[in-house]
């Protein structure tokens, strides 16, 4: 009986290690960053590094769309990625990545422009820290 328990324990340990460390460890990335993004919102503009207002809906002829969030607890060289989505058609429409340049506790933002009218519908902007696969924050808005 003790021999079976020992074998099960060893197999469990091998399984756990196999899940934690993939066979192709050359592409394995692990992040323990405490950085995060809070207070996501859409605004009509950013002045002196801060949003001037909060917008939930833009007109079709808006000159630009601006997504902001506050980057907290960010060590040097923290990457922030903004992914713009057109929810109505289930499309990713734009993606941009930036570096925090050693700053934390600041607003980070992304601006999107278009040379025609924006399509009606629902949109979102996902904000990611470093290489995370789940967004740290998401801002939602509509265009009418």
**Range 94-101 contact pairs with CB under 8 angstroms and sequence separation of 24 or more:** 100/35, 100/71, 100/74, 100/76, 101/76
Does residue 11 fall inside a structural domain?
A: no
Q: What is the pLDDT of residues 45-77, one digit of tens each?
A: 999 999 999 999 999 999 999 999 999 999 999
Does residue 51 fall inside a structural domain?
A: yes
Angle at 54 between CA 51 and CA 55, to 5 degrees: 125
| Count of domains for the chain | 1
Does residue 7 fall inside a structural domain?
A: no
pLDDT above 90: residue 9: no
Does residue 133 fall inside a structural domain?
A: yes
Does residue 58 fall inside a structural domain?
A: yes
Structural domain of residue 138, as residue ranges?
33-143
Does residue 76 fall inside a structural domain?
A: yes
In terms of Cβ atoms closer than 10 Å to its own Cβ (0-12, 13-18, 19+), residue 92 is exposed
Does residue 135 fall inside a structural domain?
A: yes
CATH of the domain at 104: 2.60.40.10
**Token pair of 119 as six digits:** 């399509």
Does residue 42 fall inside a structural domain?
A: yes
Q: Tell if the pTM clears 0.75, that is, is over it.
A: yes
pLDDT for 39 = 98
């Amino acid at each position: 009986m003790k021999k079976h328990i020992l074998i099960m324990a060893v197999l469990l340990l091998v399984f756990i290690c196999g899940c934690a460390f993939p066979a192709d460890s050359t592409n394995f990335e692990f992040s323990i960053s405490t950085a995060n993004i809070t207070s996501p919102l859409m605004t009509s503009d950013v002045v002196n590094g801060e949003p001037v207002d909060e917008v939930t809906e833009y007109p079709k002829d808006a000159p630009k769309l601006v997504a902001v969030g506050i980057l907290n607890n960010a060590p040097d060289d923290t990457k922030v990625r903004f992914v713009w989505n057109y929810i109505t058609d289930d499309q990713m429409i734009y993606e941009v990545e930036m570096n925090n340049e050693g700053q934390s506790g600041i607003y980070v933002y992304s601006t999107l422009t278009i040379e025609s009218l924006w399509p009606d519908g629902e949109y979102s902007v996902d904000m990611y820290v470093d290489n995370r696969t789940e967004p740290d924050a998401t801002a939602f808005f509509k265009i009418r």
